[in-house]
Chain A
Amino acid sequence: MAANNYYDPADLRKFGQITEWSEELGTKFFDYYGKVFEEGALTAREKSLIALAVAHTEQCPYCIDAYTKDSLQRGVTKEQMMEAIHVGAAIRSGATLVHGTMMMNKVNKLEM
């Protein structure tokens, strides 16, 4: 950890080192992770865009760094990246707002 920051961009390069303190679990994780991002029913580019959107909803700086670069590398345009992030933002705000129905239900139940 950098002296005065919780997050250091250089720490992203050390991601692979988590395996050193728990080889079995770390290896299983990275095998799984690698498999997930292989070309399948979805293209690697589609997966990269999903990862980019989720990186934003998770607000993970490492993931945003990694999947912005990955998207560029896969030929994704700026417009496509921003649209993907809006999808994430819409779901996140929608998820907040849809809980408004709980509030409404409760109010309706409590009020005469």
Chain B
Amino acid sequence: MSKIKQQSLHKREAELANANRQLEILSNGIFGDGELPTFAKKIKETNQFPLRPKKLEILQINVGYMCNQVCEHCHVDAGPDRKEIMTWETMEQCLDVIKNTGAHTLDLTGGAPEMNPNFRRFVEEASKAGIKDFIVRSNLTIIRANKKYYDLPEFFKKHNVHVVSSMPHWTRGKTDKQRGEGVFDLSIKALQELNAIGYGMPDSDLRLDLVYNPNGAYLPPEQAGLEKDFKHGLLEDFGIHFHNLFAITNLPIARFLDYLIASENYEDYMYQLVDAYNPTAVKNVMCTNTISISWDGWLYDCDFNQMLGLKVASKVKHISDYNETVLNDRNIMISQHCYGCTAGAGSSCQGAVTE
């Protein structure tokens, strides 16, 4: 068990703030001595190596690592002390890409994306591009964090934004333990405000989905069953509605990796991931239909690879040179953290990847 840290690994200048050190840990030890198969070896068994993209469906843009929370499992190592914020110049380059992309989904993430000073201007411009599904990953508490964010629900509604929010549990104890004291009450209040203007209501087109990730060194349960529990718990106790629940596996990187090592759960957790390996999930893993763009415009196969500094293996590596055709002809960068997306029913930013 570890306490919620108030500072990011970067601010603390912790060993695991270094992405290369994380990659070393993931390649050595039980994977280095062959006790467990590497991810590359595992997918070779089913002729799925090298992993290649399918049709691009999702552009995921990380507009900055600054966040009002310091969640202990955060793969971004986000927090109030992170200063990496996308500039308007890079946002303009993203807007050019959004106007011409073949992707049907635009997914803004962070940090708390709302903390980027140009967030609203960017959403206003991006929503004009007519992308089918425009997601903002909002941590809910940001809506109540400061007066200047109080009108976010109305702003989201105006631009028909699909809100996807983290909610680790339908009870106070488990939520606050993972995300910090008071997070549960603020999240409930934010959800009620979103409901009040139509978000998440049955038959409403204003989409509100929740994201669950386990509060420790274990895998998520079956998504459909958990969604029922969440719906029942949140409706009965707080009158809250939402549409879908995405169950996401914690990937062993950044602060979650730090937690696994500090709590001596690392080896057991990697065994769990490898034991739960599902070759069917590999076919639909999100890096095969997503491009992730970092705050400084670099391109990655997914948000996790972004945090590990594993840029796309393509001639096109930066938003300033963006070319979807060239990008789609690449091999996806992998390491042992990828087991997190192929365990059980699989895991992605949209939850499970198999039925």
Contacts and interface: CB of A to CB of B under 8 A. Distances in A.
Do these two chains interact?
yes
A73 B229 contact: no
Contacts of A72: 214-216, 218
A43 B228 CA distance: 13
A72 B268 CA distance: 15
Interface stretch (B125-133, B219-227, B322-330): B219-227
A77 interface: yes
Contacts of A75: 221, 226, 229
Contacts of B88: none
A74 B171 contact: no
What interface size band does chain B fall in?
10 to 19
Interface residues of A, number: 10
B271 A13 contact: yes
A45 B221 CA distance: 10
A73 B271 contact: no
B257 to A, nearest CB: 19
A69 interface: yes
B218 A69 contact: yes
A69 B265 CA distance: 12
A51 B218 CA distance: 18
A82 to B, nearest CB: 13
A72 B219 CA distance: 9
Contacts of B174: 77
B210 to A, nearest CB: 14
B218 A77 contact: no
B171 A73 contact: no
A73 B219 contact: yes
Interface in A20-51: 43, 45
B351 to A, nearest CB: 15
Nearest to B217: A69
Interface string A1-32: 00000000100010000000000000000000
Interface in A70-111: 72-75, 77
A79 B281 CA distance: 34
A43 B239 CA distance: 26
B24 to A, nearest CB: 23
Contacts of B173: 77
A77 B215 CA distance: 11
Contacts of A77: 171, 173-174
A67 B116 CA distance: 44
A72 B226 CA distance: 12
A111 B46 CA distance: 77
A73 B226 contact: no
A74 B221 contact: yes
Contact of B221 (A9, A13, A73): A73
A80 to B, nearest CB: 11
A45 B228 CA distance: 13
A10 B173 CA distance: 31
A77 B175 CA distance: 12
Contacts of B221: 73-75
Contacts of A45: 225
A69 B217 CA distance: 8
A45 B220 CA distance: 13
Contacts of A13: 271
B72 to A, nearest CB: 16
Nearest to B226: A75
Interface centre among B216, B225, B226, B229 (most CB of A within 10 A): B225
17 contacts: A9-B268, A13-B271, A43-B225, A45-B225, A72-B214, A72-B215, A72-B216, A73-B214, A73-B218, A73-B219, A73-B220, A73-B221, A74-B221, A75-B221, A75-B226, A77-B171, A77-B173
Given A13-B271, A75-B229, 14 more contacts: A9-B268, A43-B225, A69-B218, A72-B214, A72-B216, A72-B218, A73-B214, A73-B218, A73-B220, A73-B221, A75-B221, A75-B226, A77-B173, A77-B174
